[in-house]
Structure 1
C-alpha cells in the first residue's frame, strides 16, 4: 500500500508542477487563459502577479511532497520514513484542502477542484492505511 500511496503522491505533485507552469510561466497565453476562464489579455495582465505567486505555492507543495516521497523510498530508518510521511501528509493534505477551498468558493470550479484534489486525497488515505498496517 505504501507504493500505491507514493505513486499517487507523485502524480499529485506532477499535477501541481503543471499548475505552477500554467500560473507562473504560461499565464498570458490564450490557451492558459482559457483553462482559467480569463477572457481578455487585459484581465490576465491584471491578475498576472497573483497567478505568479499562486504558482509558486503550488510548486512548493509539489517539492515538499517529492522530498517526502524520496525520504520514504530511501527508507533507511524509521525516522526518515516518519519524516517523509509527515512531508507527504503536509504536501498532499494541503493540496486536498486547497481543492476543497476552491470548490467551496464556487461550485463552477468543481471540475478543477477534482483534478487538483482527488490524487492527493487518495495519497493521504493510502499512506495512512499503509502506516497503520505496518
Structure 2
C-alpha cells in the first residue's frame, strides 16, 4: 500500500504539522496503523480549540518609548456550553452597567464630534456660510 497517497499517513512524515503530534516520538508515530492514526487525528481535532467568528476583531499595538502595549476588542456570540459563574455583588453589577453605559455614551459623543467637525471643515473649505458667525470668531472672544 502506498502510504504517501493517504492523508493520515502524511501525519507520520510531517510530525510537526500538529502541535500535539510534535510531542510524540517519531519512531512510535511510525508504528501506528491507519485506524490508530484516524482515531488520533479525530481526538486531536476535538481537543484543538476552534476560533469562533467575531463581529468585531480589532487588534492594535501601541508602542511607547519604554514599553509596548496591545489593545484587543472582540465582539461575538458567546458559544460556551456552560454558563459563567458571576461572583459579583449587586454593587459590582450596577457599577459594571454604569461604566458600560458611560463608555457607550463616550464612544457615541466621540464619533458624533468627529463627524460634526469633519462636516464643518468641509463646509469651511468649500466657503459655504450657514450662519452669520464662525467658530473662530467665537473662540477668539475667549
Going by fraction, where is helix more abundant, 1 or 2? 1
Going by fraction, where is strand more abundant, 1 or 2? 2
Shorter-chain-normalised TM-score: which range? under 0.3
Q: TM-score, normalised by structure 2?
A: 0.26
Larger radius of gyration: 2
Q: TM-score, normalised by structure 1?
A: 0.27
